[in-house]
Structures are given as C-alpha cells and as structure tokens.
C-alpha cells in the first residue's frame, strides 16, 4: 500500500520533533529553560512579521496607559524589550512542557504555588460548574496541568494541530493529568454538558473572534472583538466565571485564582469586567503575555 507523500512528510516531521524533544528533555531543568529562552530570542530575531506585531501592540498599549513603562515586577521596560522577553517566555514555556510531557519535569509542578483556593471552593459550592477565565499569560499550558492536579480535571478547549501525529501526542499529553481536550467543532454542547455536571472548563479569552461570535470590548485601551461564549454558558448553566492565571516567580510559578465575577446584567458589561481582569494581570507582568498575537484584528484600531 502506497503512503501519500503528505502523510509521509507529516510523520517524518513528527518523528524529528519527538527525537529532538527526547534529547531536550534529558537536559537539567535550568539548562533546558535557558536553551528555551534562547530559542525564543532567536525566534524574535528571525520572525520579523510577528516581531513587528508584538512591538506595535506593546507600543499602542503604552501610548494609552494600559501598560506602564515601569511595573513592580519588571522595572523600566520599553516596547522592544517587552516584546523580546515575551518571545523568550514562550521559549522557556516550551522547554518546561517538553520536560513534563517526556516525564522529566516533576520538579516543575512541585514548584507551583497555588493561591486563592478559597475563591475556587466558594464558587464551586453545591457542585456548581466553573468556567476558568484565563489568557495566553505565563505558561498557560502549565496552568491547565496544575489546575487539574489542584482542582480536578477540566475540559480544555483547543484547536487540533495541522500534523495529525503531533496532534495525537499533544492530546495524550494534555489528558495525562486528568484534563479532557474539547475541540472547537461542536465544543459548545460538550462544554455545557461538563458544566451542568459540576465540572470545570478552561477558556482562553484573549483571542479575536468574528463579529457574529462576540462584541467589541475594551482590552488594554482599545476595542477588541471578544467572545461572548463564556457569559452565554454561565447564564445558561449557572456556572461561575472564575479568572485564573499563572506567572513566573523567582522559585518557579504562582497560580492565582481570583474571586468569581458576577455574570448578571448586560453581556457587554460582563465581558468588560473579564477583559479588565486579564488586563490587570498583563499590566503587572507585561513580558509574560503573548504580544505577537493579532488581538485587535478586524478593528479600526488594528496596528498591523
């Protein structure tokens, strides 16, 4: 039986990535993270289009005062430095995930401090469903893993990878700690079923959507198309909207669960509060957000 060329190439790429990951996973954690950060720096240098988007986005946020030129966690930082360190954070995050997914990163999970557990317990009273609102902040994949260990497995919404072999590997890795991957096609019904059963669902809110799926809502000083899905689900199921984020610390990471956000009233107003919660996290540690993302596309304020 003849194997299609596209399938053969996909398998070859997957094998190369898995082999490289195995070697990378054998490195000591400190060296692996430094290597990952350096890889992120190289990506910043090479990927000119995304570098321009990141610098433009940071500059626009600074001009509007949504991101300070000085912050408690980072001191004085300009747009170029914040964008560069955002790429480096992405590289370090990749290194951590490689270690965990290949079974050599147990120490990473042990150095994540969980704060705000009482906010989760209060929102979950009566076996109420939880919609965890988060963003592409810090190591967000690590947030899902530690969240599963600390609060129980949850449904994680994701897009399937283009390479089917890598997608199988990623799905197994995401499910290893108790989470369940929910792909976007037909996701709403699965999420509603999970929430009605008292389970948890994680939603990355900081992604642009088309007009039919949301509202233009202020985000870091500019209107951005924001999904209304979490608010719709909360109103339909009675689930709680609970912001949760992960950030880097000197000793590892800190996972913070914030108080529930009231979902009564106008959908736009609720989304404004959710975006504001994300914005506050970015403001306190701007270099950990994914600035290369075209968050403001399809708006009059889009920079790129």
Q: What is the pTM of this model?
A: 0.90
Which residue carries 């072999």 as its tokens? 165
Q: Above pLDDT 90, what percent of the chain?
A: 66
Calculate ∠ Cα 272-276-280, nearest 5°.
Answer: 175
Within a domain: 73: yes
Residue 273 to residues 81, 133, 276, Cα–Cα distance (Å): 29, 11, 5
Distance CA 183, CA 104 (A): 28
Would you state the pLDDT for residue 266?
Answer: 93
pLDDT one-digit tens code per residue, 141-191: 999 999 999 999 888 877 777 777 777 777 777 788 888 888 877 788 999
User: How many structural domains is the chain composed of?
Assistant: 1
Within a domain: 302: no
* Residue 269, domain extent: 5-288
Within a domain: 297: no
- The per-type count for the chain, helices as H runs and strands as E runs, is 11, 11
pLDDT one-digit tens code per residue, 75-116: 567 999 999 999 999 999 989 988 888 888 878 999 999 999
Within a domain: 12: yes
């Amino acid at each position: 039986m003849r194997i299609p060329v596209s399938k053969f190439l996909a398998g070859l790429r997957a094998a190369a990535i898995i082999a490289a990951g195995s070697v990378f996973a054998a490195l000591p954690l400190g060296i692996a993270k430094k290597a990952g950060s350096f890889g992120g720096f190289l990506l910043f240098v090479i990927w000119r289009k995304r570098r321009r988007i990141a610098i433009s986005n940071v500059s626009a946020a600074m001009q509007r005062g949504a991101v300070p030129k000085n912050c408690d966690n980072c001191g004085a930082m300009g747009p170029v430095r914040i964008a560069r360190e955002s790429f480096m954070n992405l590289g370090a995050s990749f290194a951590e995930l490689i270690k965990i997914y290949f079974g050599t990163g147990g120490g990473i999970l042990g150095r994540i401090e969980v704060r705000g557990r009482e906010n989760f317990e209060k929102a979950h009273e009566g076996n109420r469903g939880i919609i965890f609102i988060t963003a592409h902040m810090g190591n967000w994949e690590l947030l899902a893993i530690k969240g599963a260990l600390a609060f129980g497995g949850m449904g994680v919404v994701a897009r399937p990878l283009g390479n089917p072999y890598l997608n199988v590997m990623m799905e197994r890795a995401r499910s290893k700690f108790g989470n369940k991957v929910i792909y976007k096609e037909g996701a709403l019904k699965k999420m509603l079923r999970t929430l009605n059963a008292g389970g948890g669902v994680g939603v990355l809110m900081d992604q642009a959507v088309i007009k039919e799926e949301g509202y233009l809502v202020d985000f870091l000083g500019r209107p951005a198309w924001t999904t209304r899905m979490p608010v719709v689900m909360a109103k339909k199921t009675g689930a709680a909207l609970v912001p949760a984020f992960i950030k880097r610390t000197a000793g590892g990471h800190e996972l913070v669960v914030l108080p529930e956000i009231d979902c009564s009233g106008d959908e736009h107003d609720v989304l404004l509060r959710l975006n504001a919660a994300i914005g506050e996290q970015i403001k306190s540690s701007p270099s950990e957000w994914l600035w290369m993302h075209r968050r403001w596309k399809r708006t009059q304020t889009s920079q790129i």
